[in-house]
């Protein structure tokens, strides 16, 4: 997924976090195990890290689209 767009983005992206976020989205989108990360139920620290990462991707994308 990232390979298709990396030529268009100008900000740093942690590929491992991006792939994890994608797995979490897929799991929640197709809810066989709602609320679980690929390795089990997340703790508060993991949830906070993923939320902050998602906010970062969102805000950087909005900035990029504004240019």
Are 20 and 38 spatial neighbours (Cβ–Cβ below 8 Å)? yes
Q: Which of 30, 4, 19 is nearest to 53 (CA)?
A: 19
Per-residue pLDDT of 17-56, as tens digits, reads 888 777 776 555 555 555 555 566 778 888 899 899 989 9
Average pLDDT over residues 5-17: 81
The full set of domain ranges for the chain reads: 2-66
Return d(Cα 52, Cα 46) in angstroms, integer: 10
Cross-strand bridge partners of residue 40: 37
Rg of the chain in Å (alpha carbons):
13
Does residue 67 carry a pLDDT above 80?
no
């Amino acid at each position: 997924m990232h390979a298709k767009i990396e030529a268009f983005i100008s900000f740093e992206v942690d590929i491992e976090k991006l792939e994890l976020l994608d797995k979490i989205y897929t799991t929640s989108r197709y809810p066989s195990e709602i609320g679980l990360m690929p390795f089990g139920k997340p703790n508060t620290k993991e949830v906070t890290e993923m939320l902050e990462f998602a906010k970062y991707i969102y805000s950087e994308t909005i900035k990029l689209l504004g240019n």
